[in-house]
Amino acid sequence: MANVNRFSGKTRRAEVAGGGFAGLTAAIALRQNGWDVRLHEKSSELRAFGAGIYLWHNGLRVLEGLGALDDVLKGSHTPPAYETWMHNKSVSKETFNGLPWRIMTRSHLHDALVSRARALGVDIRVSSEAVAADPEGRMTLQTGEVVEADLIVGADGVGSKVRDSIGFKQDRWVSKDGLIRLIVPRMKKQLGHGEWDNTIDMWNFWPRVQRILYSPCNENELYLGLMAPAADPRGSSVPIDLEVWVEMFPFLEPCLIEAAKLKTARYDKYETTKLDSWTRGKVALVGDAAHAMCPALAQGAGCAMVNAFSLSQDLEVGSSVEDALVGWEKRIRPITDRCQALSGDYAANRSLSKGNMFTPAALEAARFDPLRRVYSWPQ
């Protein structure tokens, strides 16, 4: 059913900048609620950057609300446990009290969202870059074209031009550690005996700080996150320096040999963005544009999806777009703020290395159910 503007009598329109997880979620959720939605992606194709991704109960519930969950569950994996190793010895195995979680390749998640957006009739424009927006509901494209809408969604990532053109007050900083993210073949047989269906978070502090987050995505694909301080030239070099990684993690040699063949690998540090506000007039910022966070709790995309989905809910309450956006930020932001703070703290102190660190506070965002708007699942 069309979603009509009370004053003009026309179907409400949204222009969304950015075709990542946040922008696609916002576009689908608004479209499901009867909005006309156009999504602008600056790249020439819709494609997910990165390797694998963890989604928790909160993000999985969003997918259910978007009608994309079944597609995502096929071809993704829930490990029996999240295991932590220190110097190659197991220190903990966590199962989160049965709280749902899932690992998948980024392209798998992205493809499911793109196909849902297309099926619902979201108007997707590629090679279309937003360069500015204003609180009155106008967005300027790189071509010079100015588009107008009832709502502008800035989902254009950590370097958001929509955000920066409006001038939100912001703090931004970058971590000292970083990660090389890769997808390699599973190679379970070559790895020999072991619980290789688990996530295994393998930490080493000596003789160098190096960590591998071993994350099976499905029967065939394995997501490896190779973490090293930015100050370590060998640990952070790409393509990966096979010798330093095999020396520390010899049992993963078959997978590391495959990883070393990937010439397009990238070493990324973690960026954090904290804004005074996520909204200005008819403009809402979602995802990394609003709250990029360290990935320790693997919640950047999960929170982005919850917030983008919740936006469409709060725009249904009958007040003006401007008031609805203020109410939305007030309702939903505290969960993200707490998650961002704890994730940053965990990353700075490398806390996950201790094991058993998925405490009730660490799982707060994951326990939120955006469809019922309550926390579910026992602590």
Report the interface residues with ligand FAD, using CB under 6 A.
17-23, 40-43, 53-54, 129-130, 155-157, 161, 179, 181, 268, 270, 287-288, 295, 298-302, 304
DSSP state of 241: -
Helix, coil or strand: residue 323 = helix
Cβ distance to ligand FAD smaller for residue 20 or 370? 20
Side-chain-side CA neighbours of 308 within 13 Å: the count stands at 42
Cβ distance to ligand FAD smaller for residue 21 or 249? 21
Locate tokens 């870059």: which residue? 129
Is the separation of the CB atoms in 167 and 132 below 8 Å? Answer: no
Is the separation of the CB atoms in 259 and 246 below 8 Å? Answer: no
Cβ distance to ligand FAD smaller for residue 22 or 248? 22
Residues 6+ away with beta carbon under 8 Å from 276: 168, 169, 170
Residue 152, Cα to own-chain centre: how many angstroms?
20
DSSP state of 56: E
CB burial class (10 A; 0-12, 13-18, 19+) of residue 69?
middle
Cβ distance to ligand FAD smaller for residue 58 or 204? 58
* Residue 222: Cβ within 10 Å count: 27
**CA angle 68-289-292, nearest 5°?**
85
- Residue 309 carries which side chain, given as an amino acid letter? F
* Residue 299 C-beta: closest distance to ligand FAD, Å: 5
Between CA 224 and CA 236 the distance in angstroms is 14
* Residue 236 C-beta: closest distance to ligand FAD, Å: 13
* Beta-bridge mates of residue 11: 4
* Residue 56 C-beta: closest distance to ligand FAD, Å: 8
* Residue 54 C-beta: closest distance to ligand FAD, Å: 4
Residues 6+ away with beta carbon under 8 Å from 315: 30, 33, 151, 321, 324, 325, 328
89: its two tokens: 């010895």
Cβ distance to ligand FAD smaller for residue 129 or 253? 129
* Residue 207 C-beta: closest distance to ligand FAD, Å: 24
Is the separation of the CB atoms in 216 and 96 below 8 Å? Answer: no
Is the separation of the CB atoms in 183 and 217 below 8 Å? Answer: yes
Cβ distance to ligand FAD smaller for residue 147 or 179? 179
Cβ distance to ligand FAD smaller for residue 124 or 324? 124
